[in-house]
Every structure is written in C-alpha cells, then in structure tokens.
C-alpha cells in the first residue's frame, strides 16, 4: 500500500507492529467514547468554501514562544516510540526538524533527551510530576543542559486511565506464563519489526529515568516504577515549584476546562494544550475540539492555546485554527507513520498534512494560517455541532482519536 492518509499509516502500522504495541497506540480508556468523540466532532465541523480569490501566496508559518514553525503542527509526546521503530524518538525528531516543526519527547520515551538532542535536535520536553522532587530537579537540569526550549508539563495523569485493549493484548495486567508466551508469539509473528527494533534497537529502557532505577532490566520494571511515582497529590502550587526550577517557557498539557485554563494563566504558564490525552484518561468527557472555543474565550489573549486529540488531516488543523488554536499537536498520526516505516514515513505524513492544509486554505480563502478565524467555518453547522456535542457518538474501535 502507498499511504495517502493517516488512516493508511494506521493500517500499515497495524500490519507491521506486534498487536500489543499497535493497541497501545490505537486504543483509549474504558469504552473509548471520548476517543471516538475526538474524531467525530472534527468531522461534524463544516468549513466555508469561498471562490474567486487571489490565492497565489500562502503563509503557513506560525510564530509562538519565540520560535517560528513552518506550519502550525507539532509532534506531541508519545510513550514507547522507540519500540515502534529503531530508536524511534530520534527518527521522529529528525522528521520534525526536516519539516520545520517541533518534536516533544515523552518522559516515557525509549531514547533519552541527550540522545535525541545529539542525533536530531533539542526537543520540547514533556514532564510528569513525580513524587521524588529531588530526582525531578536533576531531570530538569539534564533537560535544560540538553537545550530543550520548552517544557510541556502534563497535568491530566495523576493516575493512568484503564485501557481495556492493553489488558487484552497483554501489555498490562497480571503476568502469567501464557501471557509471556503470547507476547513472544506477537513479536515473532512480525519478523521485520523483530529484526529492526527488538534486535537492533536496544537498549529498550526508559532512557530519561534510567538513573532512578539502575536495577531495571526491561520496560516492565520501568512501568512499575513510573506507576508508583505518579503523584496524585499534585496541585497548582506545584506549578510554582516547576517555574522556580525551569526558566524557559512552560506549557501545561491536559487542560479541558475554562476555569483550569484561567488558573494556568494566573500562575504564569506560557501556554496550554487543550487535550483529553487522546481519549486515554477519563472516558466520557467532551472532545478536545469542542472544549477549545470556551477556553480560547477565557484565556486566548493571555497565553498560547494549542490543541491535540483527533487531528487526522490538514483540514482538521485549519478547523482548530479557525476556532482559536495557535497550532495543533499530533500524537497517533505520527506514531502510526513511525510504526509504518520510521523517519521516512513520518516525513511523508508531515508533507501530506502540509499539502492538505494548503489546499484547505486555498478553498476557504485563507492566505495566512496565523490569521485563520471563525469566518472560515459554516457558523450554522458549528452551532449545531456544539449544541449536540454532549451526546455520545458511536464507539467503533476503529475510530482511534
């Protein structure tokens, strides 16, 4: 298959990856209601087609937090990316650098921040609040020394959501001999992945937290440590602690409520990502795109507002921009492409997304992505969409959001 869309990369990743890794990318929490909403709500927003305008010059660039991106798209943090392709975080970071967009490295990445900075470019860095503040201080010092320009503080994961697909596939849940044999079979049934990643992509450790658990021998040991160290006691006061420790821009990821957005602005965050963690945390909440307009109304003039969740095309990017987002972060889209074929496919996916965004701008009469507004949308359809957004859509497992 020659991939033409994000859905095609998803299918190629499904064919190449062991089931437990594909389901980790593809799945959401519980019944996956929110995961499906992320896609369905984007699909129900209508763009407003305009004609007979001079569209010979387009500007897709965006300036934010002291940086200029070639288009309003970034690669969101995705855990375990180094298991989808050999040293996958480095490959994805190279693709992002080639496209002129930022790459955000997950704390739960296989490659350490120093490796990504050395072999690609200094990434944005995603941080979880852990109980051990001494270790967090050391980690932030490493991230700072690596040249990371922005800290992305994920605030919607004091505890991990229950993901049924991960239990069924064997990635999580109780360990048993049968489960171990199932995991071995899954790897052996994907020989290309087995050779490229399992044999040649070692070490398979969470590179950013290796020093915290030197006795760890594999990913399972790291999952246990990370699970025990997520801090359920985190409060807004902890943002002040992070601010004292980090002197570069801070973006809070996982904001879905206008009151939380106002608090983030009041306490000095430089940006927020409107996000429901891709439908992987609290199931049954609203989609990210339906949560975006009231948050923009509340704090859009005080900090940068980004969005992730459900973005599958350049058309989706333009819709989010029209609703007030500064830019969109992609998670599953680039993870699918990475699993489908590494850096080359991530680069190709980003090129496709850019072409889709360009076409959408031409056909809506938008010459400057940074000036996109609600005039690009069919307002009647938009009103209908948000009035009905509280109702639950169909939850097909194929609708990864």
Q: DSSP string of 243-302?
A: HHH--S-EEEEEE-SHHHHHHHHHTT-SEEEE--GGGTSSTTPPPHHHHHHHHHHHHTTT
Question: In the prediction, which pLDDT does 393 show?
Answer: 43
For the ranges 117-131, 232-246, 335-349, the one whose mean pLDDT is highest? 335-349
Domain ranges for the chain = 6-49+60-387
Measured CA to CA, the distance from residue 343 to residue 207 in angstroms comes to 20
pLDDT at residue 128 greater than cutoff 80: yes
Q: Which residues have a Cβ under 8 Å from the Cβ of 191 and sit 6 or more positions away?
A: none
**170-188 per-residue burial string, b: 16 or more CB within 10 A, e: under 16:** bbbeeeeeeeeeebeebbe
pLDDT at residue 350 greater than cutoff 80: yes
pLDDT at residue 399 greater than cutoff 50: no
pLDDT, tens digit (0-9, with 9 covering 90-100), for 180-225? 888 888 999 999 999 999 999 999 888 998 877 777 666 666 667 7
Cβ atoms of 73 and 330 closer than 8 Å: yes
Measured CA to CA, the distance from residue 196 to residue 398 in angstroms comes to 27
Q: Report CA 148 to chain centroid distance, whole Å.
A: 17
Instruction: State the DSSP code for 122.
Output: P
pLDDT, tens digit (0-9, with 9 covering 90-100), for 215-240? 766 666 666 776 677 778 889 999 99
Give pTM, 2 decimals: 0.93
pLDDT at residue 400 greater than cutoff 70: no
Superfamily of domain 6-49+60-387: Aldolase class I (3.20.20.70)
Mean pLDDT of 344-366: 98
Q: Catalytic amino acids?
A: 277
Percent of the chain with pLDDT over 90: 77
pLDDT at residue 129 greater than cutoff 90: no
């Amino acid at each position: 298959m020659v991939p033409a869309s994000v859905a095609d990369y998803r299918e190629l990743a499904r064919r190449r990856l062991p089931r437990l890794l594909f389901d980790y990318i593809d799945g959401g929490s519980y019944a996956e209601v929110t995961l499906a909403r992320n896609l369905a709500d984007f699909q129900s927003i209508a763009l407003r087609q305009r004609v007979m305008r001079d569209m010979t010059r387009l500007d897709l660039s965006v300036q934010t937090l002291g940086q200029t991106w070639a288009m309003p798209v970034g690669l969101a943090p995705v855990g375990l990316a180094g298991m989808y392709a050999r040293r996958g975080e480095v490959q994805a970071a190279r693709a992002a650098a080639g496209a002129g967009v930022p790459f955000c490295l997950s704390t739960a990445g296989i490659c350490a921040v120093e490796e990504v900075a050395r072999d690609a470019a200094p990434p944005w860095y995603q941080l979880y609040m852990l109980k051990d503040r001494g270790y967090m201080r050391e980690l932030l010092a490493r991230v700072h020394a690596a040249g990371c320009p922005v800290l992305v503080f994920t605030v919607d994961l004091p505890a991990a959501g229950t993901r049924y697909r991960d239990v069924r596939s064997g990635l999580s849940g109780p360990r048993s001999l049968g489960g171990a044999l199932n995991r071995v079979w899954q790897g052996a049934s994907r020989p290309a992945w087995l050779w490229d990643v399992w044999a040649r992509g070692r070490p398979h450790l969470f590179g950013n937290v290796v020093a915290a658990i030197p006795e760890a021998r594999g990913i399972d040991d790291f999952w246990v440590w990370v699970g025990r160290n997520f801090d359920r006691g985190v409060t807004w006061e902890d943002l002040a602690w992070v601010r004292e420790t980090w002197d570069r821009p801070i973006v809070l990821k996982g904001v879905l409520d206008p009151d939380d957005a106002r608090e983030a602005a009041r306490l000095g965050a430089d940006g927020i990502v409107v996000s429901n963690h891709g439908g992987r945390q609290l199931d049954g909440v609203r989609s990210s795109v339906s949560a975006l307009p009231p948050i923009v109304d509340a704090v859009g003039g005080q900090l940068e507002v980004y969005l992730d969740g459900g973005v599958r095309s350049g058309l989706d990017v333009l819709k989010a921009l029209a609703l007030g987002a500064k830019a969109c972060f992609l998670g599953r889209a680039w993870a699918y492409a990475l699993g489908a074929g590494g850096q080359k496919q991530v680069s190709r996916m980003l090129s496709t997304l850019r072409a889709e965004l360009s076409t959408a701008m031409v056909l809506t009469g938008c010459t400057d992505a940074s000036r996109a507004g609600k005039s690009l949308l069919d307002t009647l359809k938009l009103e209908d969409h948000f009035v009905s957004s509280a109702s639950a859509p169909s939850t097909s497992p194929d609708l990864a959001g």
